[in-house]
Structure 1
Amino acid sequence: MARLLEVCVDTPDGLQAAIEGGADRIELCAALALGGLTPSAGLIEAARSAPRPVLAMIRPRAGGFVWTRAETRAMRHEIAAIRSAGLAGVVLGASNPDGSLDTDTLATLMDEARGMETTLHRCFDLTPDPFAALEKAIALGFRRILTSGQAATAPQGIALIARLHIQAAGRIILLAGGGIMPQNAPLFTAAGLCELHASCSLATEEDPAVAAFGFGPAHRRDTSADQVRALKQALKE
């Protein structure tokens, strides 16, 4: 079984580190500390020449996934920009106020993304019925679902992820993400999952003045090529 590692990055240096470390696919974002937002034009340009497939996050703001009409229009334009840039695909999602998938908005966004690779992001982890949500994602045409199994981390949610993988029966890929590290990767390969998602990052202490002025947190996380290599190696064993 092929085992694929997707690494999420939010800087040009992170993109290069993920490629250097051997990532099989890239999720391109801004502001990973906020769960990932739509990447900037400059970062998208940097990813155009990447020797790996790149999927861009489509999320215009932090917070929940109940979108206004204006936000939905913005996301359609963002998808069009990603298509024009020649990237492989997009990562997107939309929720109703009760957490269920907003299939009307998702259908609109999926129509905009027709012909591109599509991942349903972790709005899935807020759904009250993940088994029904899985069927909706399949009907909408998603290629994969990124999920932590509705837990804080994917290792904690492995039981649900494994059940969803069985229900999917090859119709859609379950992409486990959230707290994936070399030491827990065997949990997911043992469950039959063929794709994992991770940041492969290390904490770096920021200049105290930066945090004091509110420009950022006291620590930031940067993608590590060595961490990518270590996780890739764990997937081979």
Structure 2
Amino acid sequence: MGSLLEVIALHPADAEAAQEGGADRLELCASMEADGLSPSVSTVSAVRRVTDLPLRVMLRLTGTFAVDGAELNRLTAAAQSYLSAGADGFVLGFLTPDNEVDTESVAALVSTFAGTPWTFHRAIDAVLEQRPAWRALRTLPGLDTVLTAGSALGVQHGLDDLTRMAKEDPAVAKVMMAGGSLRPEHVPWLYGSGVRKFHVGSSVRQDGSWTKAYVNSRFVRAWRNLLDAQDSKAQESRSQAGTTQDGEPATTKEPTA
């Protein structure tokens, strides 16, 4: 599969610049000082009017990864409003007081929008044990992406763990999306481990500012070009090895007389 570039957007101007720069998907949220909270329904509608990119909306009401019954009810209602406003998917993730994946709460929420794809966000980087957490995620319906830096401190601290997990388990590599202070020099290592989804936010804004700068389409284009170059190298390697994109032996046409 080719690479996917997801860009964080806070408003329509971000969305337009991200699409112009070559993004494949948007994560829409608010309040990045709290690492992303749910945006208003009007913002979702406004973003949908200016872009046709797939749009995943954050379902998170507080700056923690905990959730209670009242919040779940509010998020359930919000999800339906977001779908009506043009959302294609969601971003969410809850942990128990013991910092394990709260599968019960997550399953309860995603069951209310069955059939809609969703991302488990960087709550995964706050769990105590990674392997049990990833096993728990496999049980959740509709999950197709796990956003992770491999560390709560960012990809620069979690890179070794990300590449190891991706190499050890292709199923993990398939859903893993690397993000969280992701830098260009991380990409070849992640790509070589089988990761094909990448997530950027502050790195596509002037001076990395969430409050003083919008998404810059040129910065997005630089990331797009970087990922396209990795895709091209991978395709060339497959061709030289005589395999298809899925790693199967390439068929050869029988010569005619």
TM range (shorter): 0.7 to 0.9
Matches within 5 A, 1:77-156: 77-141=77-141, 142-156=143-157
TM-score, structure 1 as length reference: 0.88
Contact 1:131 1:164 in 2 (8 A): no
Q: CA deviation at 1:70?
A: 1.1
Residue identity opposite 1:170 in structure 2? A
Residue identity opposite 1:236 in structure 2? D
| Gap regions ≥5 residues in structure 2 | 230-257
Residue identity opposite 1:144 in structure 2? T
Q: 2:10, 2:90 → 1: CA distance?
A: 15
Q: Deviations over 1:104-157 (max 9, x none)?
A: 101101101211111001111111111111111111121111001024111321
- The aligned residue for residue 69 of structure 1 is 69
Q: Does 1:36 align with 2:36?
A: yes
Contact 2:159 2:186 in 1 (8 A): no
Q: CA deviation at 1:182?
A: 3.0
- The aligned residue for residue 8 of structure 1 is 8
Q: Which moved more, 1:159-168 or 1:13-22?
A: 159-168
Q: CA deviation at 1:26?
A: 0.4
* Cα RMSD, aligned residues only: 1.9
Higher strand content, 1 or 2? 1
Residue identity opposite 1:82 in structure 2? Y
| Gap regions ≥5 residues in structure 1 | 206-216
Matched-pair identity in %: 30
Contact 1:5 1:196 in 2 (8 A): yes
Q: Secondary structure at the match of 1:145?
A: strand
Q: Does 1:235 align with 2:236?
A: no
Residue identity opposite 1:100 in structure 2? E
Q: CA deviation at 1:167?
A: 4.7
Residue identity opposite 1:95 in structure 2? L
Q: 2:166, 2:139 → 1: CA distance?
A: 16
- The aligned residue for residue 212 of structure 1 is none
Structure 1 pair 151/37, CA: closer, same or farther in 2 (3 Å)? Answer: closer
Higher helix content, 1 or 2? 2
TM-score, structure 2 as length reference: 0.81
Q: Does 1:203 align with 2:207?
A: yes
Contact 2:57 2:91 in 1 (8 A): yes
Q: 1:120, 1:233 → 2: CA distance?
A: 26
- The aligned residue for residue 226 of structure 1 is 218
Q: 2:15, 2:31 → 1: CA distance?
A: 14
User: How many residues end up aligned between the 2 structures?
Assistant: 224
